[in-house]
Chains A and B, each alone.
Chain A
Amino acid sequence: MSANHTHSHAAHDHDHDDHGPAKGIGRWLFTTNHKDIGTMYLVFSLIMFLIGGSMALVVRAELFMPGMQLVDPGFFNTMTTVHALIMVFGAVMPATVGLANWMIPMQIGAPDMALPRMNNFSFWLLVAAFSLLILSLFMPGGGPASGWTLYPPLVLQTGDALPLAIFAIHLAGASSIMGSINIIVTIMNLRAPGMGLLKMPLFVWTWLITAYLLIAVMPVFAGAVTMLLTDHFFHTTFFAAAGGGDPVLYQHVFWFFGHPEVYIMILPAFGIVSEIIPTFSRKPLFGYDSMVYATASIAFLSFIVWAHHMFTVGMPLAGEMFFMLSTMLIAVPTGVKVFNWTATMWKGSLTFEPPMLFALAFLFLFTIGGFSGLMMAIAPVDFQYHDTYFIVAHFHYVLVPGAVFAIMAGVYYWLPKWTGHMYDMKLAKLHFWLSTIFVNVLFFPQHFLGLAGMPRRIPDYSTQFADWNMVSSIGGFGFGLSQLLFVYVIIKCARGGEKASSVVWDGARTTSLEWTVPSPAPYHTFDEAPVVK
């Protein structure tokens, strides 16, 4: 144990169990330690990433060539639906929560999260949620198959899977809200003396804003799906035109949640990249203040752009005009972020370890997703793009080489801090190159498919789309298999390896507190608050 810990033990009269982790399975079931819980979130997320990814491979296998070869169209719809639900709520969000659990207390100099028991509860709720969702696949009538957006009236045709999927969303939502409350309370109350809000690392800032977004929109989503439940089982007609309800109302409520949800997935990714690029450029982050303000602007704009997901529902002209213009505005703060990251590298002294490689891929490929996003903001042209593979290409670019690559960058950045070992750099770089090449083979041709007119969510297609679908499927399998390498690198690193120093990366700024504690980070850190100058 660290000198830090011994010192604090002498200074305070701690309970006996404060020394280290409990033995056996009880450690994981009942833990209130932010590092244990962070680890559990990350492992959970990795498992979900593999399950959700396997479902995507079922989709890509069926789409490998024209004609139906493998699955029933209904099951195909279940795969696209559950793939999305798992990746959004089970893989990306828990991964960023896991990183928050590990890193926020260590970056602000707090001994733990502010509400440790709730922390444990919010993790285990997530396990319950996804057990229900996976169980729903085996219900009579098949799993949920209406798309992850769960639009009525179609979603009301779901069989017994519907209540399970909706309860799963309720539990995952409750888990997210608790996690967010915990993060906000921790950041607001447990910062080390001297750490003003505008001295916090960017990752802490982006998560603070993300947590507010989550608290604002998760209840809205919970309300919408609850109305689906009562429409289905209690003959209310919130969304049924025949009873005086409105199917479009659901879409408005859903996307009022759904658009901020997109930023809930990407803002923490922005934070991770803002940590990594300065480290490997050996230069402070360019425009710290404007990065914070840009993040806040993006969060604000996320609440007033939702209907750009539904340009084709038949809104009045004024509505389409408003949502087109407000959406275009998002390009400004997002542009500021990209320019600031680029300016951080300008005149730096760059090295290209795996975290930096993933952050750079993020920078290029997320920007490509940003460009297609700008194109889709133009409502008259979006009438052509809407619900085609162009959209599929866009959101996978911002979510896979966007959010997922940033998460991988974060894992490669902090893994030595967590395990105390350096990982296999060669294998990690191989993982990077395979992932980056295949992710483009997978998603870039989908732009062409969409522009050529291929609708999304179809299990079979006209022969003119055959070539690019085959290329995309090959990319999909390549990308999927490459992730096994990621799992291997992590396991190998957890088991052992070259000892990591406390600073780990020679460019890491010691002003960021996680690099002031030893590697691996002791079970308890900052029993005595560090002072930030």
Chain B
Amino acid sequence: MKMVKRALAAGAALLLGATPAMAAWSDLNLRVGVTPLSREIHGLHMLILWICVAIAVAVFGVMIYSIATFRKSKGAVPATFDHSTKAEIIWTVIPVLILVGMAIPAARTLVKIDDSRGSDLTVKVTGYQWKWQYEYVGEGVSFFSSLAPQSNVARQLDSGIDPASVPNYLLDVDRPLVVPQGVKVRVLVTAADVIHSWWVPDFAIKKDAIPGYINELWFLAEKPGVYRGQCVELCGRDHGFMPIVVDVKPRAEFDAWLAAQKAALQASNAPAAKVAQVAPTDDRTALRVANAE
């Protein structure tokens, strides 16, 4: 009985000890994410990674063996061979087969990513220097989302504020994008000034926001929670300071949230709200439009 208890205690300690190690591992590797696609992409990433590790062990193994064994200092006498057609055919054909093995699941996933049919909600995302605008298409709800004030103060040159004291430093916004859980959400991505890129790592999706283009992506978040990302295309001075926060709520909560947004919009007199949402226009673009006309 004592033995069993001791074993249990040891097991618990091992588990406890393993937890920080696991946390460290998640800082080293791609996250699994919370969508069916993100899990599939993570699986593909691990597959390719392990194939590369296996090849590395083999190739580096031969290199290290050669370096350790065929040393002049150990009296190695050089051979004189300078080719072997058989070997060369083998190490051309085997990589081709490995690549085919990688390409098949990769192509399958790529096709799935491309299929945005059957979505229940469409959100239009517009990138600005340096904030995002979210618009619930057909719902009349739209707002800007910028770096949270606390982060914004702390990130100024020599602010004297310790970033560690700011919750979610640089990854927090004033108004997050809210979406329902378990629903296929289609996102239309564009930009108003320069190119930006919209990325939420937990959804495993990234698309450039390009002026004049409307790009499309989709995700289906299975777990409620707050997911954070950043602009990932250099867009000028404050490129590092336009994070993305997505709040995934259970369907009912989301519906209530959306209804509240609509009510607030009506209450505050729709025309006034619209004026406030006119985008700042880039002078040069305006000039070009004028020229073109």
Interchain CB contact under 8 A, B291 and A235? yes
Decide yes or no whether B7 CB sits under 8 A from chain A: no
Interchain CB contact under 8 A, B237 and A77? yes
Cα separation A350 to B67 with both chains bound (whole Å): 7
Q: Nearest chain-A residue to B95 (Cβ)? A: A335
CB-contact partner of B208 in A312, A345, A346, A388, under 8 A? A312
Interchain CB contact under 8 A, A371 and B66? no
CB-contact partner of B77 in A349, A452, A462, under 8 A? A349
Instruction: List chain A residues, Cβ under 8 A from B157.
Output: 68-69, 71-72
Interchain CB contact under 8 A, A351 and B45? no
Cα separation A242 to B235 with both chains bound (whole Å): 18
Decide yes or no whether B120 CB sits under 8 A from chain A: no
Which one of A31-39, A264-272, A317-325 contacts B? A317-325
Instruction: List chain B residues, Cβ under 8 A from A73.
Output: 237-241
Instruction: List chain B residues, Cβ under 8 A from A460.
Output: 155, 163, 170, 240-241
Decide yes or no whether B96 CB sits under 8 A from chain A: yes
Cα separation A460 to B240 with both chains bound (whole Å): 7
Q: Nearest chain-B residue to A314 (Cβ)? A: B215
Cα separation A67 to B215 with both chains bound (whole Å): 33
Mark out the residues of chain A between 257 and 311 whose CB falls within 8 Å of any chain B CB in the assembled complex: 281-290, 310
Given the interface pairs A312-B206, A346-B66, A448-B27, the reply to whether A242 lies near B103 with Cβ below 8 Å is no
Mark out the residues of chain B between 56 and 105 whose CB falls within 8 Å of any chain A CB in the assembled complex: 56, 59-60, 62-63, 66-67, 70-73, 76-84, 87-88, 91-92, 95-96, 99, 102-103
Instruction: List chain B residues, Cβ under 8 A from A456.
Output: 232
Which one of B8-16, B47-55, B256-264, B271-279 contacts A? B47-55
Mark out the residues of chain B between 222 and 245 whose CB falls within 8 Å of any chain A CB in the assembled complex: 229-241
Min CB–CB distance B48 → chain A (angstroms): 5
Q: Nearest chain-B residue to A237 (Cβ)? A: B288
Instruction: List chain B residues, Cβ under 8 A from A453.
Output: 31, 201, 229-230
Per-residue CB contact flags for chain A residues 449-472 toward chain B (1 = under 8 Å, else 0) read 001110111111111100110000
Per-residue CB contact flags for chain B residues 149-164 toward chain A (1 = under 8 Å, else 0) read 0000011111101111
Interchain CB contact under 8 A, A153 and B195? yes
CB-contact partner of B67 in A146, A360, A464, under 8 A? A360
Decide yes or no whether A328 CB sits under 8 A from chain B: yes
CB-contact partner of B234 in A71, A77, A348, under 8 A? A77
Cα separation A68 to B71 with both chains bound (whole Å): 51
Interchain CB contact under 8 A, B62 and A342? yes
Decide yes or no whether B269 CB sits under 8 A from chain A: no
Which one of A123-131, A374-382, A433-441 contacts B? A374-382
Interchain CB contact under 8 A, B110 and A320? yes
Min CB–CB distance A253 → chain B (angstroms): 15
Interchain CB contact under 8 A, B159 and A67? yes
Given the interface pairs A328-B102, A364-B60, A458-B240, the reply to whether A384 lies near B206 with Cβ below 8 Å is yes
Which one of A106-114, A244-252, A515-523 contacts B? A244-252
Instruction: List chain B residues, Cβ under 8 A from A452.
Output: 26-29, 31
Interchain CB contact under 8 A, A243 and B292? yes
Per-residue CB contact flags for chain A residues 338-353 toward chain B (1 = under 8 Å, else 0) read 1110110111111100
Instruction: List chain A residues, Cβ under 8 A from B246.
Output: none
Interchain CB contact under 8 A, A288 and B106? no
Decide yes or no whether A332 CB sits under 8 A from chain B: yes
Decide yes or no whether B210 CB sits under 8 A from chain A: yes
Interchain CB contact under 8 A, B113 and A380? yes
The number of chain A residues with a CB under 8 A from chain B is 97
Decide yes or no whether B136 CB sits under 8 A from chain A: no
Cα separation A286 to B84 with both chains bound (whole Å): 8
Decide yes or no whether B135 CB sits under 8 A from chain A: no
Decide yes or no whether B109 CB sits under 8 A from chain A: yes
Decide yes or no whether A487 CB sits under 8 A from chain B: no
Cα separation A463 to B229 with both chains bound (whole Å): 14
Interchain CB contact under 8 A, B83 and A288? yes
Given the interface pairs A243-B288, A367-B56, the reply to whether A314 lies near B194 with Cβ below 8 Å is no
Decide yes or no whether B2 CB sits under 8 A from chain A: no
Decide yes or no whether B285 CB sits under 8 A from chain A: yes
Min CB–CB distance B14 → chain A (angstroms): 25
Min CB–CB distance B105 → chain A (angstroms): 9
Q: Nearest chain-B residue to A338 (Cβ)? A: B59
Per-residue CB contact flags for chain B residues 189-232 toward chain A (1 = under 8 Å, else 0) read 10001110101010011111011110110000000000001111
Q: Nearest chain-B residue to A320 (Cβ)? A: B110
Interchain CB contact under 8 A, A461 and B62? no
Min CB–CB distance A245 → chain B (angstroms): 8
Q: Nearest chain-B residue to A310 (Cβ)? A: B208
Interchain CB contact under 8 A, B169 and A463? yes
Interchain CB contact under 8 A, B83 and A313? no
Q: Nearest chain-A residue to B108 (Cβ)? A: A380
Instruction: List chain A residues, Cβ under 8 A from B56.
Output: 367-368, 371
Decide yes or no whether A47 CB sits under 8 A from chain B: no
Mark out the residues of chain A between 362 and 376 whose CB falls within 8 Å of any chain B CB in the assembled complex: 363-364, 367-368, 371, 374-375
Decide yes or no whether B111 CB sits under 8 A from chain A: yes
Per-residue CB contact flags for chain A residues 417-430 toward chain B (1 = under 8 Å, else 0) read 00000000000000
Q: Nearest chain-B residue to A71 (Cβ)? A: B157
Interchain CB contact under 8 A, A384 and B30? yes
Min CB–CB distance A449 → chain B (angstroms): 9
29 A-B contacts (beta carbon < 8 Å): A69-B158, A73-B237, A74-B237, A151-B195, A241-B211, A242-B288, A242-B292, A247-B211, A285-B82, A286-B84, A290-B83, A312-B197, A312-B206, A313-B210, A339-B87, A349-B77, A350-B67, A364-B60, A367-B60, A374-B48, A375-B49, A375-B52, A378-B48, A384-B206, A455-B231, A455-B240, A457-B239, A458-B240, A460-B155
Seen from chain A, the residues whose Cβ lies within 8 Å of a Cβ on chain B are: 66-69, 71-74, 77, 145-147, 151, 153-154, 156-157, 235, 237, 240-244, 246-248, 281-290, 310, 312-314, 317, 320-321, 324-325, 328-329, 331-332, 335-336, 338-340, 342-343, 345-351, 360, 363-364, 367-368, 371, 374-375, 378-381, 383-384, 386-388, 448, 451-453, 455-464, 467-468
Known pairs A368-B56, A455-B231, A462-B169. 15 more at Cβ < 8 A? A71-B157, A72-B237, A77-B234, A154-B194, A241-B212, A247-B210, A247-B212, A285-B82, A310-B208, A312-B206, A328-B99, A332-B95, A347-B70, A384-B30, A463-B163
